[in-house]
Amino acid sequence: MIKRFFHGLMENEVEFLLISGQAAILYGAATFSEDIDLWIKPTTGNCHRLRAALVGMRAKYYKLTPQLDVSYMNEGHGFHFLLPSGAMDVFVDVMGSPPRVSSFPQAMKRSRRMTTSWGRIPVVSIPDLVELKKTQRLEDYPVISRLVLAHCRNPSTVINVTTIAWAFANMFDFSGFTTLAKRYQAIILSSADRRMTALKRMVRPLSGGDFPQRVQDALEADIMRRIQSCRRADQVYWKPIIASLKRLRRQGALMRAGERVT
């Protein structure tokens, strides 16, 4: 079913990127995801091509979905579909303007084409995926941390001051923080770049492979503060979109759940 769906996207020339849980699985940072999440280029033509692919799969609308239209995409709405299957239904979530990331063309340039059991799929880059995963769900933050480590381990990643600063800023796990500190302590302490000033204070106490307990406590508290800040920001982001959905529901303007895409 999923392989046929991706074949239909390619056949209809839909411009898309695989994001969220399945993308994290492909990068080795997650083990399970129920849904297929797509970021599609928010243009009228691409919406029409996506619709054709969904019609070909006999897709149905699922919960709280406005009309598949570029105007709603640009407002940040999500679109939810069900691909009926005799064995197990597949849920597909689509966005045209997801939060915290740049434009689709820029993300496409940074993306990777990955070989999967469904074919060669364009997958959002790890840095973009990290931003997408900064949600209100606490379970997303260990995934982000594993994505950061995967990015740093990738032989094609250029390790420089910018990369190191990004890695520490997006590390939400103390064990992962320690791994980064061990790996980059020498680079950080020898750097004259001003961006390393704060990191120098953070990694200098590392000795013998461990941080003193007082430092560990302070770092873990800082991690929790950053997680809560990201969660609050995501809540603020979604507030007007949720209000718009409620308004559309009152107006009877949402697609009927279970109705076939035509």
Residue 119's CATH number:
3.30.460.40
In a domain, 30, yes or no: yes
Query: Are residues 100 and 28 part of one domain?
Result: yes
**29 plus 121 within the same structural domain:** yes
User: 79 forms bridges with which residues in the sheet?
Assistant: 94
Strand segments (E) across the chain:
16-19, 35-40, 60-61, 78-83, 90-95, 112-116, 119-123
Domain boundary among 71, 100, 125: 125
Question: Is 169 in the same domain as 96?
Answer: no
**Which among 41, 16, 19, 38 has a CA at the least distance from the CA of 29?**
19
**Domain presence at residue 245:** no
pLDDT of residue 71 exceeding 90: yes
| Same domain, yes or no: 46 and 101 | yes
Instruction: Kindly report, residue by residue over 80-101, the tens digit of the pLDDT.
Output: 999 988 777 899 999 999 999 9
Largest pairwise CA distance in the chain: 64
Q: Look at residue 147 in the predicted model and tell me its pLDDT.
A: 98
Is there a single domain that holds both residue 207 and residue 107? no
Q: Tell me, yes or no, whether 112 and 204 share the same domain.
A: no
Are 169 and 120 within one domain? no
Shared domain check, 21 and 120: yes
Question: Is 236 a member of any domain?
Answer: no
Q: Are residues 103 and 198 in the same domain?
A: no
Residue 185 lies in a domain: yes
105 within some domain? yes
Query: Would residue 258 count as lying in a domain?
Result: no
The pTM assigned to this predicted structure is 0.94
153 is a domain residue: no
Provide the pLDDT for residue 1. Answer: 79
The predicted pLDDT at position 195 comes to 86
Q: Are residue 6 and residue 121 in the same domain, yes or no?
A: yes
Domain co-membership, 118 together with 11: yes
Q: For residue 160, what are its two tokens?
A: 């420089």
> How large a percentage of the chain has pLDDT more than 70?
100
- What is the domain range of residue 69? 2-125
- Same domain for 209 and 119: no
The string of pLDDT tens digits covering residues 191-250 is: 999 889 999 999 999 987 789 999 999 999 999 999 999 999 999 999 999 999 999 999
The total number of structural domains that make up the chain: 2
Domain membership of residue 174 (yes or no) is yes
Read off the pLDDT band of 73 (50, 70, 90). Answer: very high
Q: Are 135 and 78 in contact (CB under 8 A)?
A: no
Contacts of 37 (CB under 8 A, 6+ apart): 18, 19, 20, 21, 22, 23, 92, 93, 94, 95
Order of strands across the sheet that contains 78-83:
60-61, 78-83, 90-95, 35-40, 16-19, 119-123, 112-116
